[in-house]
Structure 1
Amino acid sequence: MQYHVKGMDCASCVGKIERALIRMPGISEVQLNFATQKLALTLAPDAATDSKDIEKTIKRLGFDVSALTNQQADGDTDSHQSVIEDEHWWQTTKGKQVIGIGLLLIAAYVVSLIFPEYGKWTFIAAVAVGVFPFARKAFALALVGLPFSIEMLMSVAAIGALIIGEAEEAAAVVFLFSVGELLESVAADRARAGIRALSSLVPKTAILLDAQGQQRQVAATSLQVNDKVLVRPGDRVSADGVIVQGVSSLDESTVTGESVPIAKTIGDDVFAGSINVEGALQVRVEKTAANNTIARIIELVEQAQASKAPTERFIETFSRYYTPIVMAIAVLVIIVPPLLMGAEWGTWLYRGLALLLIACPCALVLSTPAAIASGLAVGTRHGMLIKGGHVMELVGQVSTVAFDKTGTLTEGKPRVTDVIGFKTVDGNAEGHDTLLALFASVDATSSHPLAIAIVDHAKAANVVIPESSNAFATAGKAVHATVAGRSLAIGSPVYVAENVMLLDEQQTQIETLQNEGKTVSVLFDDQTRSVLGLVALRDELREDAQQAIAQLQKMNVRSVMLTGDNSRTAKALASQLDIEWKAELLPEDKLRLLSEMQASGKIAMIGDGINDAPALATADVGIAMGSGTDVAIETADIALLKNRVVDMANLIALSRATMRNIHQNVVFALGLKGVFLITTVFGITGLWIAVLADTGATVLVTLNALRLLRFKTGSSN
């Protein structure tokens, strides 16, 4: 049996549902994925439990549940999206709850100013409305063996504050906790949006070719192995397959992340979602829609997000011990002295209530979110979008940062680095500007990224670009044009070597540039078959890349470059950065390497491409450059909106500062409570001092958290 569980936003939710279901007779093999909000389980045929019992139990825990159809359960992405409605945060149950409590709080403050005698009743109403869903969930969890959940902690805190007349404080605690729950839900939905965006990369339709070569438009999901499809210039490839006719260049950045299109010919593999840049192709389908490359990437992202357990919130863990101990102490304080020592009931009831007030975890509840909120605000101000408190905590524990190359360490687009002229048979060589003008003239009609880079470079250099005519392309190999009566062509070194005699010194020059990680384009005369010169291009490092790696080294954080590009280019760039590197990697290769590195510590992965999405989800912390694809940004835990590599070091420094602040806050909160717990039991301090102590701890925690707002980037904490 399979279900869609709405509101399952974290690993903690998974644990609660799993614990409840396992206790039900006849249920086994419970599998939950909070990233996709799917539940799968096995129900024995003769079990006393039925589907209604399952749904009732899940709803009692505070989640919405609906059975999946066979099509949805089998992983049809479009069908599954139909059960996930795109709601704004204020349209969700948690959003409505936050708005409702907030409005009641505002109303209570207004009423207390105008009619002080009625103000407390409005606060009590706010507490009753806000605490009810948490109390109901706490009771349901207690029935399945989790009596001291964070919901129980909040319920006890709110009710305890009401008992001693602190309705205003109780309402504030409930409101803050509701806001935290809402933010967690919003963050989880953003992650799910990333998975949904992946499916849009594969076209919905395909041009199917029948045995007679007739064209027919069909749904891409209907394609079967060995079908033949037509991929026109500018189209996305509709299925994984093999080229059986045609030559072209394909933009495979959806899979490899590399921006330069790859020349493809008969017998070469193509991936679903790739963009055909030039010539028409006929492709034989090798994999169905459910098994293509994009589908595999979606599956990898879902699996990685499901297995990534967020750091369990400190308050929830601590409450397992804190809440029952304090409640037990309060009960003992109230009944033991009167029963055993004949003490006055009124005195010890007063002390017990004061102790309950001290036990109210307002400062403790604020200790973490107040610091996290300040840290998130600082990060946002500096262009570092951090998706949640658990991410803020984890990034400071990172011991290794894995960098994608293209678009992360580099700018993500090729730039001209060298323009070199060669002497022809008459002993003359074209001048720099003349040669660049000829290159730009031939490339002017091409849409290839290398051609665009050359033309842009010529324009930036104020070179006059002559008009060309008779332009045509040898798909995936060369471009041709007539310039000032000369038949010229630009091609790759391999193509030129097959058609023109390259001199030894020319070949040596080309190899030298290629060993520096540069892509070389060669200009030659189509009539005289003589080589005129070359242009070298390279995707250059970002300006701050070297500074970022150096700062990470000072912070004792290891850096590794993982790229789908060739080894020669990777080695050249890595040598400039003094960084470890691995090249020619597919998405699954990156996952394997990350898993190996995770054995020795926390890993952060930073990338910008769709191909990086699985790695971003697999790493303990996934970080996307703001210039990257929507899928990478949605999947990642953090987005660097200013596209600065050095912000990786700033992130770690900010996280470490935030965690120090949290530890200080916990000491403040528990220290004051510990002192006044003792003084209250011995009658040294009374109810009003207890109120002051609790409020004082809250003020201290808040002021300390606000210190984080002065955090400066560029430190190596």
Structure 2
Amino acid sequence: MSDVAMETRFEVGGMDCGGCARKVDTAVRRIPGVLDVSVSVTGAGMTVSHDDTVDLVAIERKVELLGFTARAAAVAGPTSTHATLASAQEQLADRLGHGHDHDHAPMERGPAALPWWRSVKARVTVAAGVAFVAALIAAGIEPQIAAYAFDAAMLVGLLPIARRALAAARSGTPFSIEMLMTIAAVGAAIIGAGEEGAAIVFLFLVGELLEGVAAGKARSGIRSLNALIPKTAILDEDGRTREVPAALVAIGSVILIRPGDRIASDGVIVDGEGSVDEASVTGESEPVAKRPGSTVFAGTINGDGVIRVRATATAADNTIARVVRLVEKAQESKAPTERFIDRFSRYYTPGVVVAAILVAAVPPLFLGAEWPVWIYKGLAILLIGCPCALVISTPAAIASSLAAGARQGLLIKGGAVLETLAGISAVAFDKTGTLTAGKPVVTDVLGFDRSATAVIALAAALEAESNHPLASAILAKFDGERSGLPAVFNASAAAGRGIVGTLDGLDVFFGSPAAIGDVVVPADRSAQIAVLQDEGKTVSVLVVGNVLAGAVAMRDQPRPDANVGLQALRDIGIKIVMLTGDNRRVATAVASDLAIDARSELLPADKQRLVAELQSEGYKVAKVGDGINDAPALAAADVGIAMGGGTDVALETADAATLHGRVADVAAMIALAKRTMRNIRQNVAMALGLKAIFLVTTIVGVTGLWPAILADTGATVLVTMNALRLLAPPRLRAPAV
């Protein structure tokens, strides 16, 4: 075996639950050359780590024998040699170029699966249902042929199930759900319970179909992210333009983006300027001003002006693609509860088979009981003991939860993170860009020698051509059309001081109070300015001629939803603290507005230390920050949450990220985690509770095969439908007034 490791990603269609994933995993691991396998039901894919001797087509065929489809989608190998990579790619090219025959009907293909009602499973289920109804009619018309009619109806649905059972057994999974169903159905026919055998096969197929619908709904949340990327891009090559598929845009290519177009690649603006709507990626509610040198993200929308962007990532590695991969990887990782149930089911299923054999054989052999009666009860126990509902109780809930979160811009990296989030008791927030919007707004306009209206109009006139964040705040405060601004001439920036210009022959200055030179500032005006500065505000003064005309105060304000989001956390008993590197004056002002505790003037190591102190006091801590200067604290916390997850660091260093950058998203994330854990407990209780009830009633002879299938397929349907409830967005309670 070669020691060169590489990875191939496969699209796998037709998987519905964790049991499907385990069968695929077990089968593929047995193929020579395979080193490791990771299967994602909701991602409809499989990543195989292998050496250069592996046969990729053999992997596809092995998966297809289990009743699924497989298609090698990508090859990657950071530790591979060029020769190794070329070898694998040649296999793919040969398969794609020449194709290969399949000895069975194709099923759903990867993420681009057919609608559930057009799938092979749907057709088989409908055929089994029609056959069962026809058998009922035939039995009513001619009772003598009832047994044959029901046996024939049973075979319509059982043959595909039995085929999958045999394939799974040959691939290392002898105790599959399909095998238990096959034994029970055949046994029912042998002891003359053909009608019940046909019914349980049909109900089993209905349950599988519902699982497929649930998995499809979970996948749709991920696919909706891919829809943000345009299908085509306009390349600008030495002044000539041509339209190409977005997937073909290479790093370094220059893309022409027209007003209203979605940007096809992450990149840097090389020509043009305007505003870009980044809400789909960063959650920024207002369009962001961009100019040459500014970074833009794939999937965002160019608002105005023609810009040219030099691509810095391929289609497979842009921001949206990374988000999708993160969610798929999260869905492949298992929560502690899921891992426990997986281990439990490995012993549980063989145990059920042994119990069913004992129930069927012991009473007739040692107590003189009738064989048909106890064989019937043994078959019922076999159906009752099918672990399908139990096995999917956790992954179905987690997959639905992760998909629902992704659809709302809440990225959670796996079931383990979800379980931890559900137990969070303290949240430590960063300030700038987390609790605050990260951009200043005008809070106060003071008129001294002129009215407040005149002061803001003059300030806006001076700042009209500036791209500085403070200028944007001034212009946003000015309530009027640009045409209504005073006629200020020769406006220019005075580096480090402010803006100067001319109005009616008088020099006008707007900027720092420390830069006004010998202008006389009355004591009361100076006191007013000092009060504003003590409130953590940046103050700029307006001087007309040599007279102090007024002042404008600005501050980075709390996000609009900050109070609502923090109150939602308080309502569920979570301790809140703000950890910031900003100065004490500013931090105290923001903390006062939000009614929270604050620690200020902190270095990254200080934030990490304070998180550790909270943990030592018994709190389970979530740290919320921007994922860059907060990286040590994010790593130290039980859960690190990055606000505005569009950056590489935010996506890669934290356990979770909020793409929309809302404070309320933190409460929504924790609420979603709590709902998920409640849902899992409900699912496990339903799965085991129904089995326990019907196990007792079967032993005492009250129920038989029909109720037994309800204990299995019925529980599976209930668990699946209960998990689907998590796809609805979490609701936050209104804050107390």
Give your verdict on TM over 0.5. Answer: yes
Does the residue aligned with 1:65 lie in a helix, a strand or coil?
A: strand
Q: Distance in 1 between matches of 2:442 and 2:131?
A: 66
User: What is the aligned partner in structure 1 of residue 59 from structure 2?
Assistant: 54
Question: Quick check: 2:428–2:578 contact (8 Å CA) kept in 1?
Answer: yes
Aligned-pair distance for 1:142? 3.2
The CA distance in 2 between the partners of 1:558 and 1:138, in whole Å, is 52
Change (3 A) 1:555 1:15: same
**Normalised TM-score (structure 2):** 0.62
Q: Which residues in structure 2 correspond to 1:252-331 (within 5 Å)? A: 271=295, 273=297, 289-290=312-313, 302=325, 305-306=328-329, 309-311=333-335, 312=338, 318-331=344-357
Report the equivalent of 2:378: 352
> Is residue 557 of structure 2 the alignment partner of residue 549 of structure 1?
no
CA distance in 1, matches of 2:164, 2:25: 15
Quote the residue 1:332 is aligned against.
358
**Between 53-62 and 183-192, the greater mean CA deviation after superposition:** 183-192
Tell me which residue corresponds to 2:214.
183
Deviation at 1:25, TM superposition (A): 2.8
Change (3 A) 1:7 1:623: farther
SS of residue matched to 2:195: coil
Match of 1:632 in 2: none
Aligned-partner SS, 2:551: strand
Does the CA-based 8 Å contact 1:241-1:270 persist in structure 2?
yes
Alignment of 1:108-147 (within 5 A): 117=140, 136-147=163-174
1:221 is aligned, of 247, 250, 261, to 250
C-alpha distance in structure 1 between counterparts of 2:434 and 2:677, whole Å? 23
The answer as to whether partners of 2:274 and 2:305 remain within 8 angstroms in 1 is yes
Q: Which residue of 1 aligns with 2:195?
A: 165
The verdict on how the C-alpha distance between 1:175 and 1:89 changes in structure 2, with shifts beyond 3 A counting, is farther
Q: Aligned pair 1:714/2:720, yes or no?
A: no
CA distance in 2, matches of 1:246, 1:678: 78
User: d(CA) in 2 for partners of 1:329 and 1:501?
Assistant: 97
Q: Deviations over 1:158-192 (max 9, x none)?
A: 77788663344543343233332343345346436
Q: 1:96 aligns with which of 99, 108, 119?
A: 119
Task: Report what 1:43 is aligned to.
Answer: 51
Which residue number corresponds to residue 540 of structure 1?
A: 558
Distance 1:263 1:63 in 2: 47
| Paired letter, 2:312 | A
Alpha-carbon contact 2:434-2:626 (below 8 Å) kept: no
- 1:435 is displaced (CA, Å) by 1.9
In the other structure, the counterpart of 1:676 is 697
SS in 2 for 1:536: strand
| Greater CA drift, 579-588 or 385-394 | 385-394
Letter in 2 for 1:541: R
In structure 2, relative to structure 1, the CA distance for the partners of 1:499 and 1:417 (3 Å cut) is: closer
**Cα distance in structure 2, aligned partners of 1:289 and 1:393:** 36
> Could you give the per-residue CA deviations for residues 21-63 of structure 1, whole angstroms, max 9, x where no partner exists?
4423344466778869464544355xxx634323322333423
The offset of 1:672, in angstroms, is 0.7
Q: Is the 8 A contact 1:195 1:298 kept in 2?
A: yes
Distance 1:386 1:295, change over 3 A: closer
The whole-number CA distance in structure 1 between the counterparts of 2:526 and 2:181 is: 74
Give the deviation of 1:597 after TM superposition: 2.0
Change beyond 3 A, Cα 1:395–1:514: same
Q: Separation in 2 of the partners of 1:589 and 1:12?
A: 42
Q: Write out aligned runs for 1:381-530 (5 A).
A: 396-398=422-424, 409=435, 415-421=441-447, 423=448, 429-442=449-462, 454-459=474-479, 465-466=484-485, 468=487, 488=508, 493=512, 518=537, 523-525=542-544
Deviation digits for residues 502-552 of structure 1, max 9, x if unmatched? 889889977875775656555454x65967422414343335x34543553
Normalization by structure 1: what TM-score?
Answer: 0.64
Partners of 1:229 and 1:347 in 2: CA distance: 75
Indicate the residue corresponding to 1:64 in structure 2. Answer: 70
Whole-Å separation in 1 of the counterparts to 2:285 and 2:584: 16
- Measured in 2, the distance between the counterparts of 1:195 and 1:688 equals 45
Cα pair distance change 1:569/1:671, threshold 3 Å:
farther
Q: Specify the alignment match of 1:25 in structure 2.
A: 32
Judge conservation of contact 2:258–2:305 (CA < 8 Å) in 1: yes
Task: Give the drift of 1:125.
Answer: 8.6
> Could you say which residue in structure 2 is the equivalent of 1:578?
596
The count of corresponding residues between Structure 1 and Structure 2 is 652
List alignment gaps of at least 5 residues for structure 2: 1-5, 79-84, 98-107, 243-247, 605-624
Judged with a 3 Å threshold, the aligned counterparts in structure 2 of structure 1 residues 181 and 263 are, in CA distance, closer, same or farther, namely: closer
Matched AA of 1:434: A
Identity fraction in percent: 30
Secondary structure of 2:552's aligned partner: strand
What residue in structure 1 maps to residue 636 of structure 2? 596
534-543 or 551-560, which moves further after superposition? 551-560
Compared CA separation, residues 349 and 568, structure 1 to 2 (3 A) = same
What CA distance in whole angstroms lies between the structure 2 residues aligned with 1:144 and 1:464? 76
Q: Distance in 2 between matches of 1:355 and 1:473?
A: 86
Residues 274 and 289, structure 2, Cα contact 8 Å, conserved in 1: yes
1:190 & 1:164 partners in 2: Cα distance? 42
Label 1:447 to 1:557 Cα distance change in 2 as closer, same or farther (>3 A): same
Distance 1:610 1:130 in 2: 48
Q: Which residue of 1 aligns with 2:245?
A: none
Using the alignment, how far apart are the partners of 2:297 and 2:324 within structure 1? 17
The whole-number CA distance in structure 1 between the counterparts of 2:517 and 2:542 is: 11
Change (3 A) 1:216 1:562: farther
Shift of 1:6: 1.1
Give, in whole Å, the separation in 2 of the partners of 1:120 and 1:42. 51
* Cα deviations by residue, 1:203-248 (Å, 9 ceiling, x for unpaired): 875788xxxxxx7889973539xxx9999999989987899x9999
Structure-1 residue corresponding to 2:11: 6
Secondary structure at the counterpart of residue 91 of structure 1: coil
**Would the aligned equivalents of 1:515 and 1:568 in 2 still touch at CA under 8 Å?**
yes
The separation in 2 between residues aligned to 1:112 and 1:507, in whole angstroms, is 95
Residues 154 and 194 in structure 2, CA contact (< 8 A), matched pair in contact too = no
Q: Secondary structure at the match of 1:714?
A: coil
8 Å CA contact 1:94–1:178 kept in 2: the answer is no
Alignment partner, residue 605 of structure 1: 641
Superposed CA deviations along residues 584-630 of structure 1, whole A, max 9, x for unmatched, are: 976455666444324xxxx373744523x8746876565554x88xx
Contact kept, 8 Å, 1:403 with 1:559, in 2: the verdict is yes
RMSD of aligned Cα (Å): 6.8
Residues 664 and 103 from structure 1, CA distance in 2 versus in 1: closer, same or farther, beyond 3 angstroms?
Answer: same
The 3-state SS of whatever aligns with 1:676 is: helix
Structure 1 contact 567–583 (Cα < 8 Å) conserved: no
Q: Secondary structure at the match of 2:700?
A: helix
8 Å CA contact 1:271, 1:293 repeated in 2: no
Following the alignment from structure 1 to structure 2, what is the Cα–Cα distance between the partners of residues 104 and 568?
A: 73
In structure 2, the CA distance between the partners of 1:298 and 1:173, relative to structure 1 (3 Å rule), is: same
Task: Work out whether residues 20 and 57 of structure 1, in 8 Å CA contact, stay in contact via their aligned partners in 2.
Answer: yes
Q: Distance in 2 between the 1:434 and 1:384 partners?
A: 43
3-state SS of 1:223 partner:
coil
- Contact 2:21–2:40 (Cα < 8 Å) also in 1: yes
- Tell me the distance in 2 between the aligned counterparts of 1:233 and 1:499: 42
Contact 1:523 1:532 (8 Å CA) reproduced: yes
Return closer, same or farther for 1:384/1:590 CA change in 2, 3 Å cut-off: closer
Secondary structure in 2 matching 1:7: strand
